[in-house]
Amino acid sequence: MEYHRHGLSETILTTIVAILVMVLVWGLLAGDEITSWIPAAAVGGLVVIAFVVIRTTISPDHVRAAQISKTLKLSSKTLEHMRNGLNEDSAQAVCDLLLPSTQARAISINNTSIHLGFAGQRAIDQVTGTPLFSKEMFKVLKEREMMVITNPQSLAILSEHVGFVLEAVVITPLVVRDVSVGAIKFYYDAKPLVDKTQIAIIRGLSDLLSTQLSMSELDKQSELRTRAELRALQSQINPHFLFNTINTIAALIRTDPKKARELLREFSFFYRQTLENSESFITIEKELKQTMRYVMFEKARFGEDTIIIKDEIEEGLENTKVPSFIIQPIIENSVQHGMRSGVPLTITIKVYKDKDDVVISIADDGVGMSEENLHSMGKARKANSKGTGIALRNVAGRLKGFFDSDSSMTIESEVDHGTTTTMRLGGAARQKGEDIEDA
């Protein structure tokens, strides 16, 4: 119905304009034979119609409505690509979608190190994959603020990069959780094109893509948390560890019944805590106690003097809350892969603050790993026969999911000199009692 009304209005308006034009032409050709007010009236009518048309089509409400409609259409199209995060495929697709919606000659999207996508005059493979180089770009990434570049020197460098003469460049950041993850760059060959309307469009597109990337990040974290907690639970109930401990207790029943009863009681408590805490935050102090129960079972199996645990906990960090089961897997890895025959294994656990972060370092003096084995362990998608891989990947994934974006886990190792695993818990030192509640 709306379409038919719109078509009827256009038909009527076109008819009136045609009549007024014919009257005007007839009045001019008639000369003195017709009164002079008729051409004037026709001109006046055309001016009024022109004014109405211009007022209707470029009124603020009309422009705003058109822009909102365009943005909503773009939103549905870009969301499909942004769901997968910021990568070469998504960046290229979004560049192709955005270019027709602006007056820019070209558009590029980058992360914090390289250009991921490019749409415009120059060939894609000449820009995509090249490293960032402009000081303006790094400033935008650092300050998370839009920048309009009109400096001739900067434009000359950028012109060479894209392959045509530029008169203006607009860079706007893509921000996720108050951190710049990339930026969009709009290239213009005419400075007047960068007006208030164009700036508003660019700002809206930047906010739109940042929101979509934030949604993608939340989806990934939610998925990661679900999968990680499930893997954590599966890793915790390690059948080899379970059978070895039961066999150790069974052997002690004959030789040391008192010790066997103690281990059986602790073993029951250990697994109850494991199951109850698999989806919750606990203090570092409780995590260490649970880890020491694991060490107790391994000492009972290999001998009391085979494993030596040392800990250095900075005062006040005992109550820092962390996801359960982040220290024990690393100790377990050291015991399983670091022990030498007939030589005690010493494991040192350090917990300290580094500005707003909490750092947990776990170092052993075991057999260590070659660079090749260390690399392959980080790439492993499933555990080997001794369980390497999944538990450590699990820990690294949960650190990223629960703490700030600078959270990380690094592993350094040297053959015959041992292995050191360092976990950085981004922002954990800012915790107050209420900051992280048990899940």
The single-letter code of the amino acid at 149 is I
The predicted structure's pLDDT at residue 1? 42
Q: How many CB atoms lie within 10 A of CB 387?
A: 19
- How far, in Å, are 43, 288, 331, 340 from residue 17 at the CA level? 10, 86, 86, 97
DSSP 332-381: HHHHHHHPBTTBPEEEEEEEEEETTEEEEEEEE-S----HHHHHHHHH-S
| CATH class of the domain defined by 270-430 | alpha beta
What is the rounded CA–CA span in Å between residue 20 and residue 142? 60
The domain spans of the chain are 2-57, 81-219, 270-430
Q: Do domains 81-219 and 270-430 have the same CATH topology?
A: no
81-219, what's its fold? Beta-Lactamase (3.30.450)
> Where would I find the H helices in 237-283?
239-255, 257-276
Q: For the chain, give me the number of helices (H) and strands (E)?
A: 13, 12
Q: Which residues in the chain land under pLDDT 70?
A: 1-76, 121-127, 216-240, 275-280, 376-390, 432-439
What is the rounded CA–CA span in Å between residue 60 and residue 62? 5
Length of the chain in terms of residues written: 439
What is the rounded CA–CA span in Å between residue 79 and residue 71? 12
What is the rounded CA–CA span in Å between residue 338 and residue 347? 10
10 Å CB burial of residue 418 (0-12, 13-18, 19+) is buried
pTM equals 0.49
